[in-house]
Amino acid sequence: MTTGSAVDCTGLVYAFGTNRAVDGVDLSVATGEVFGLLGPNGAGKTTTIRAITTLLPVAAGMVQVFGNDVAREKMAVRRLLGYVPQALSADAGLTGRENVTLFARVFDVPRRERRPRVAAALEAVGLTDAADRLAKTYSGGMIRRLELAQALVNAPRLLVLDEPTIGLDPIARTEVWEHIGAVRAATGMTVLVTTHYMDEADQYCDRVALMHRGQIRGLGTPRELKDNLAATRGDGPPPTLEDVFRHFAGRDLADAHEDQKERFSDVRRTRRTASRLG
Ligand SMILES: Nc1ncnc2c1ncn2[C@@H]1O[C@H](COP(=O)(O)OP(=O)(O)OP(=O)(O)O)[C@@H](O)[C@H]1O
């Protein structure tokens, strides 16, 4: 891991009407780390990463990506980014290779470099053999890896993933994480990922921020967070990251789950659509 920040958020605020979806977030992601933004549905994770990826304006506060101000240097920031949104971004009627080539064009990868860069991105996610099949024949996990290849073709220094494993079975989830880990190891790229799967964050993230109702309630390595909670509790079973989250979020965590039931099923439906393509 090299020194310096990939992402710096200071006092970030974003409101939808009177709803402060992001309510004063301070966050620093170090270059080369896998950083997890954790929280239940509606916590403000997607809104935070939309501000970081220049897709939403920074209403108040400041966000920098590798020292570039996202409000004033949008294009410079976009050139450094790969973004895999929560919603389906692959085209079922194109082959895997055509999907990635489309993104290479959008990202303005020089014409001469396109073919090898597309092939390398597909190889990095284990889709070389399936590259010339239509995406509609892919499983949900393969589609997620294709979307990863689409983001990687730009050779990003910062890869931002919104709930990359939602709706996938455990084997497909592990594969997605393993490919992310392998690319990170090979390129030194920084990874910022949102998830509400605490067990995955515990296993694959170097550091995590626990977000609830628009605010960061806890931040550290999964080990630190669990050890700190264990120290306050004394005897008993070792805490999980989910226990840590409950500790920080307090009683209103259950209410948040109630508020978000409908939205969760919407998301699930979205990702099921991805599986059905297979
Ligand atoms: N386009 C929008 N218009 C109005 N309110 C929104 C919009 N997008 C998000 N919100 C609200 O902002 C808050 C934070 O939502 P956000 O999507 O950032 O949460 P999240 O943690 O990413 O959850 P999810 O994984 O369900 O997207 C929620 O209360 C949500 O209802």
Distance of CA 21 to the CA centre of its chain: 18
**Number of DSSP helices (H) and strands (E) in the chain, helices first:** 11, 10
Q: Find the residues whose C-beta lies inside 6 A of ligand 1.
A: 16, 19, 21, 39, 41-47, 163, 263, 267
pLDDT digits (tens, 9 = 90+) for 7-41: 999 999 999 998 999 999 999 999 999 999 998 88
Domains held by the chain: number: 1
pTM for the full predicted model: 0.87
pLDDT at residue 53, rounded to an integer: 93
pLDDT at residue 162, rounded to an integer: 92
| Residue with CA closest to ligand 1 atom 7 | 16
pLDDT at residue 253, rounded to an integer: 56
pLDDT at residue 125, rounded to an integer: 92
pLDDT at residue 267, rounded to an integer: 44
Residue 151: inside a domain, yes or no? Answer: yes
Residue 196: inside a domain, yes or no? Answer: yes
pLDDT digits (tens, 9 = 90+) for 104-122: 998 888 899 999 999 999 9
| Pairing relationship of beta strands 190-195 and 158-162 according to DSSP bridges | parallel
pLDDT at residue 115, rounded to an integer: 94
Residue 150: inside a domain, yes or no? Answer: yes
Give CA–CA dist 275/30, Å, rounded: 34
Ligand 1 atom nearest to 196, measured from its CA: 25
Residue 278: inside a domain, yes or no? Answer: no
Q: Write the DSSP symbol of residue 134.
A: B
Mean pLDDT in runs of 10 for the chain (278 residues)?
A: 79 93 95 93 92 91 95 91 88 95 90 94 94 94 93 93 89 90 91 92 94 93 92 84 86 54 48 49
pLDDT at residue 252, rounded to an integer: 60
Q: What is the CATH number of the domain that holds 250?
A: 3.40.50.300
Residue 224: inside a domain, yes or no? Answer: yes
CA of 14 to the centre of ligand 1 (A): 11
Domain enclosing residue 223, as ranges: 5-273
Residue 16: inside a domain, yes or no? Answer: yes
